[in-house]
Structure 1
Amino acid sequence: MFSGIPVTGIAMRSGYHLSTSALGIVLACLGLGVAVSDLVWGLLTDRYGDRRILLIGLTSTGAVLSLMAVAATPADGAGIVALGAGLLVAGALGGSVNGASGRAIMTWFADGERGLAMSIRQTAIPAGGAVGVALLPWLADVYGFRAVYALPSAFCLLAAAATWRWLHEPDQPPAPATAEAALGTGEKAGSGAGRAAEPGTGPAVEPGVGRSPLRRWDVWRLALSCALLTVPQFAVLSFTAIFLHDVKGGGATLASVTVLIAQIGGGAARIWTGRRTDRRGGRRAYLRGIGALTGIAMAAAAVLTGAPTPVTVAALAIGGLLANSWHGVAYTEIAAMAGAARAGTALGLLGTALFGAGFLTPLLIPAVLGHTSWPVVWALTAALSLLAIPLAPGRPRATGPAR
């Protein structure tokens, strides 16, 4: 739903008779729905458990999409209000998946396994997105928007059935926060991956473990820096089709291929980086590095806007790939900082920040485009990626003598 519907932007703009600015508002409703609900879902998950929240969220999201398929298509005379409201509610209910599935990872896996497990969980997002990107634009052109909403509805209900069948609470409660989880960098004593501790010092421990993540500035810094890294991701996802159509004369197929490269490549990168940071540590350093690389790639897209289409597409695909590659590491990091018992709240905060950026990006880009040009749009996404580097929290300091 979240990745596939924006790529139907060309058909949506013509079918619902929307301007580019109105299209941006409608697409932003998906991100707004998740942003306003994600933290609430995270708090509810910590209280009631991931299984119950997933069942409620997936079933209700499928029901809303089914209702849209029946009553919110161009054939039904639906306009911007009905379309925006439907996507807003679908996003708000679908946001339940973020904190609940992330807390399940923290509950079931030990700290040395969580990076890979969380990255596999996060890779499900671009994998599902790839299905949406491949199928929904084609369905919109051939069968209309009833099929566009019916397909993700069916997938939501299938996911709810899978949750009912296979996802249960573990027999033992979540492991308490440890120094390794507090460190949040994946570096473990004796692994040889991190910097050796100086004599007379203990492990670097994050202050405040056990407190609410909402009261910790380092947690907020991580969430806000990741929000900045989200801007190029949503820019490529939401506006590649419009850019290629309006500037390069390309069709939906070219846009789908570009976004698919970003989605599939980003998904593969999530698994690789999750396993690497489990073994070597350095999750925070990795996030800062991704900020630099994404900034460079999007700056290249800005410079190469007038280049031949394959060159421009390659720059956008690489930028989108990088912007899709860090999520598993970030979710693992913020959950480890909070500890398993408060992981739902921390993940909800991160989801709110990310989808808040997802809400603002489709509003920001048409406004910038209305006064400037596409090179400025891509340059802005590059600048925001680079701003994430100093905002991200650094390595925790050692706290004193080892005991």
Structure 2
Amino acid sequence: MATLVAGEARSASRHRWVVLAVGVGAQAGFSAMFSGLPVAGVVMRADYGLSTAGLGLVLGCLSLGVATCDLLWGMLTDRLGDRRTLITGLTATGALLALMAAVAAPGDGVGTALLAGCVFALGALGASVNSASGRAVMTWFADGERGLAMSVRQAAIPAGGAVGVALVPWLAGTYGFRAAYLALALLCLLSVAATWRWLHEHDGGAAAPGARPAAGPSPLRRPDVWRLALAGGLLTVPQFAVLTFTGIFLHDARGQGTLLAGVAVIVAQVGGGAARIGTGLLSDRGRDRRALVRVIALATAVAMAGAAVLTSAPVALTVAALALGGLLANAWHGVLYTEAAVMAGAGRAGSALGLAGTTLFGAAFVTPLVVPALLEVAPWEAVWAFAALTPLLAVPLVPARARR
């Protein structure tokens, strides 16, 4: 009997890496869409006949959809489990992308409102990935490993985003948005197949330490969890300013094509993914995740201030400054998500991650609306200065380290 139990424990220990791989794939597939569509903004604006403000509305609706439904998906994940939530959300997302390829491409008579509604629905359905895959990691990994595991999962966002940045603008510009939507639908459906085959709920018999539900109030009633989530929202502003508007800025203000914008965003995404893994390792060793978030916030503020100063510098310097700012603005996610999940306990991790996702993607929705309005009254320097201010405001919001 003891040998049988030991064998089951070893099997569960190995399977946690399979669970992580499935979560990484699901997160990367959604991120390819989430990052690829904004970088294809110049092509989208031309092919759909949108104004810059209309483009900002359409792209902002992607984040609004996530922000509106992320908490709901998180609560549903706590109730139904990771597997069913992921399969439901990703299947619906892939089906909608296929439908858009059929009837909502340029030339199909799609107006701004209908396109914005479709993009909103993509975000609302795809939001299932955030809480479900995060809760799976929380359940299968012990506290001394969660920083790395969650950061690897979060690194899938910029990594998948880099794939989307490389793939979606090229497909849209060369073959049209039908091909781009179909490719993104295929990525979602591949993730569904992997989830169906390999992801299952932890049986709880040999649960990772700290994985059982914690006593105490809901994370939605805890001021410290709210403060951490709001800090994450402020830290999201520079990330999405760089992601969404680097291409528009280089095209409109510096007369550049999409190549340099793609390079800057890919560097920010891939470098940000590596930084997430590094900060996750640091948090597992020192475990002061909140201090790490503050340090990253300060570094991001400095980098984006440098981008504001270098707005009119030689274009290579400008692109490098934006890439560095975007990289740092991508570095904090794994640490903050891990801390939010640990604060709530695995039994309520879905709700805590959903709350964090709501503030993050709420900021991601607001940013594409604020930037065009800011450009109406101020130059691009003000945009990057605004992106430097918000992470500075996040620093005092991060709660002090809990006493042990």
Measured against aligned partners, the alpha-carbon deviations of 1:170-226 in whole angstroms (never above 9, x if no partner) come to 222655749xx99xxxxxxxxxxxxxxxxxxxxxxxxx9631000000000000001
Deviation at 1:280, TM superposition (A): 1.6
Alignment equivalent of 1:139, drawn from 154, 171, 174: 171
Alignment equivalent of 1:73, drawn from 105, 110, 116: 105
Quote the residue 2:370 is aligned against. 364
**Contact 1:177–1:209 under 8 Å retained in 2:** no
- SS at structure 1 position matched to 2:403: coil
Residue ranges of structure 1 left out of the alignment (5+ in a row) = 183-207, 399-403
- Bigger shift: residues 75-84 or 111-120: 75-84
Structure 2 Cα separation of the partners of residues 372 and 378 of structure 1:
11
Equivalent pairs: percent with the same residue? 64
Q: Please state if 1:338 is matched with 2:370.
A: no
Structure 1 Cα separation of the partners of residues 233 and 195 of structure 2:
29
**Contact 2:142–2:210 under 8 Å retained in 1:** no
**Contact 2:142–2:209 under 8 Å retained in 1:** no
One-letter amino acid of the counterpart of residue 93, structure 1: L
Structure 1 Cα separation of the partners of residues 78 and 51 of structure 2:
42
Q: Please state if 1:156 is matched with 2:162.
A: no
Structure 2 Cα separation of the partners of residues 290 and 271 of structure 1:
13
What TM-score, normalized to structure 1? Answer: 0.90
- SS at structure 1 position matched to 2:49: coil
One-letter amino acid of the counterpart of residue 231, structure 2: S
Quote the residue 2:52 is aligned against. 20
One-letter amino acid of the counterpart of residue 247, structure 1: A
**Contact 1:176–1:339 under 8 Å retained in 2:** no
**Contact 2:168–2:180 under 8 Å retained in 1:** yes
One-letter amino acid of the counterpart of residue 396, structure 2: P
Q: Please state if 1:229 is matched with 2:261.
A: no
Measured against aligned partners, the alpha-carbon deviations of 1:31-72 in whole angstroms (never above 9, x if no partner) come to 000000000000000000000000000000000111111111
**Contact 2:143–2:209 under 8 Å retained in 1:** no
Structure 1 Cα separation of the partners of residues 39 and 215 of structure 2:
41
One-letter amino acid of the counterpart of residue 92, structure 1: A
Structure 2 Cα separation of the partners of residues 396 and 155 of structure 1:
40
**Contact 2:60–2:364 under 8 Å retained in 1:** yes
Alignment equivalent of 2:383, drawn from 373, 377, 387: 377
Q: Please state if 1:130 is matched with 2:162.
A: yes
RMSD: 1.5
Alignment equivalent of 2:226, drawn from 217, 220, 224: 220
Measured against aligned partners, the alpha-carbon deviations of 1:66-117 in whole angstroms (never above 9, x if no partner) come to 1111111112121212211110001000000000000000110111111110
Quote the residue 1:2 is aligned against. 34
Structure 2 Cα separation of the partners of residues 307 and 209 of structure 1:
55
Quote the residue 1:190 is aligned against. none
Question: Which one has a larger percent helix, Structure 1 or Structure 2?
Answer: 2
Quote the residue 1:170 is aligned against. 202
Structure 2 Cα separation of the partners of residues 396 and 209 of structure 1:
16
- SS at structure 1 position matched to 2:402: coil
In the comparison of the two structures, how many residue pairs are matched? 371
One-letter amino acid of the counterpart of residue 165, structure 2: V
Residue ranges of structure 2 left out of the alignment (5+ in a row) = 1-32
1:1-400 alignment runs, 5 A limit: 1-172=33-204, 177=210, 210-397=216-403
One-letter amino acid of the counterpart of residue 129, structure 1: G
One-letter amino acid of the counterpart of residue 137, structure 2: I
Structure 2 Cα separation of the partners of residues 397 and 51 of structure 1:
35
One-letter amino acid of the counterpart of residue 281, structure 2: R
One-letter amino acid of the counterpart of residue 195, structure 2: T
Deviation at 1:281, TM superposition (A): 1.8
- SS at structure 1 position matched to 2:107: helix
Shift in CA distance, 172/387, structure 1 to aligned 2, threshold 3 Å? same
Runs of 4+ in 1 over 3 A off after TM superposition: 173-178
Deviation at 1:127, TM superposition (A): 1.0
Measured against aligned partners, the alpha-carbon deviations of 1:274-312 in whole angstroms (never above 9, x if no partner) come to 111101222100100011000000001111101000000
- Bigger shift: residues 164-173 or 59-68: 164-173
Structure 2 Cα separation of the partners of residues 175 and 213 of structure 1:
21
- SS at structure 1 position matched to 2:147: helix
One-letter amino acid of the counterpart of residue 60, structure 1: A
**Contact 2:272–2:329 under 8 Å retained in 1:** yes
**Contact 1:6–1:27 under 8 Å retained in 2:** yes
Structure 1 Cα separation of the partners of residues 93 and 105 of structure 2:
17
Structure 1 Cα separation of the partners of residues 318 and 216 of structure 2:
47
